[in-house]
Amino acid sequence: MARDLNEAVLVVGYRGMVGSAIVRRLSALGYNNILTLGREDVDLLDQSAVREYFTTHKVDQVYLAAARVGGIHANNTYPADFIYDNLMIQANVIETAHRAGVQKLLFLGSSCIYPKLAEQPMTEQALLTGTLESTNEPYAIAKIAGIKLCESYNRQHGRDYRSVMPTNLYGPHDNYHPDNSHVIPALLRRFHDAVENAVEEVAIWGSGKPMREFLHVDDMAAASVYVMELEGEAYRANTQPMLSHINVGTGIDCTIRELAETIVKVTGFKGVLSFDTSKPDGTPRKLMDVSRLRSMGWQASIGLEDGLRDAYQWFVTNRLDARG
């Protein structure tokens, strides 16, 4: 692996769940020139503001973890915000990094780039082979554009811009908004509140039958740095110019019912589970084929129950500061 601990490494979106985990990982590995950039520092939707930052800071590598994210409800309610904000953030950062002469960049996407009915487990080759899930199509299209931006700058300008596609993430610094969060933080908060308020029944959106794969954000950060540090030949040997993205996951999934039952154990809820079938299930199954990443020498190490206990402990400790 190529590792220069003195390089200026910029983490864009460092206050988010993934960005903060990448900062922790880089620090643990001994990187001593970590730069951080978030929307509180620079309006990432403003190209001139992003350019000014790169003009005044020397940057050698970029981790692009900034994004507008949310669950089914948020994607359904704010589709214009999701596609516009993500397109603009990606275009501004990637183009400006190129203009500033940054040779290495890692773009973080999402498993929702794959068709709704893609063959399971989903391989990287499934991209652009079918219709996307309608509830998050605008977000997915923005993420696909990010992949293609990286590939295009590589082809036209000889850059080394890589993309990783994580499965569903959870962990410290997640978003715990009661309406706009993803399934794990939403359920952790709901069951926690139920325990505190002695609620006897908790309703889960949907039938509980859809299957999902979950990856702890610390594993995601480890995979991201691992992929960024791979020598160029090792990376290119496992990718193609027009198929450069890499799936990141555990390769193991569970039903939403099974997830909820595990969260019951983690939170100590003693009541009854019910399922609200009037709410959408979303994609029937989403499991990543992670054989490409495993062939490169990396695999996840944090089990689901252990990861959920870690996420729940963070929420309990930081509840007043948790987003939402």
DSSP run (H or E) holding 232: helix 232-237
Sign of CA dihedral 141, 134, 120, 173: positive
Q: Is 167 flagged in the annotation as binding?
A: yes
Task: Write the CA distances from 148 to 10, 163, 253, integer angstroms.
Answer: 21, 9, 28
Examine the residue annotation and report whether 170 is marked as an active-site residue of this protein: no
290-295 contacts at long range (C-beta below 8 A, 24 or more positions apart): 290/121, 290/247, 290/248, 290/249, 290/250, 290/251, 291/123, 291/251, 292/123, 292/124, 292/238, 292/239, 292/246, 292/247, 293/223, 293/227, 293/246, 293/247, 293/248, 294/251, 295/238
Contacts of 17 (CB under 8 A, 6+ apart): 169, 170, 171, 172, 173, 174, 175, 217
Q: Is 182 flagged in the annotation as binding?
A: yes
- Which of 31, 63, 114, 139 is the catalytic position? 139
Q: Is 20 flagged in the annotation as binding?
A: no
Task: Write the CA distances from 255 to 120, 167, 262, integer angstroms.
Answer: 14, 15, 11
Q: Which amino acid is at 191?
A: F
Tokens read off for 24: 């922790």
Tokens read off for 123: 């391989």
Q: Is 109 flagged in the annotation as binding?
A: yes
Q: Is 14 flagged in the annotation as binding?
A: yes
Q: Is 284 flagged in the annotation as binding?
A: no
Q: Is 13 flagged in the annotation as binding?
A: yes
Tokens 């995601």, residue?
A: 220
Tokens read off for 315: 């929420």
Of 174, 212, 216, 186, residue with least CA distance to 303: 216
Q: Which residues are catalytic?
A: 139
Q: Which residues are annotated as a binding site for NADP(+)?
A: 13-19, 108-111, 143, 166-169, 182
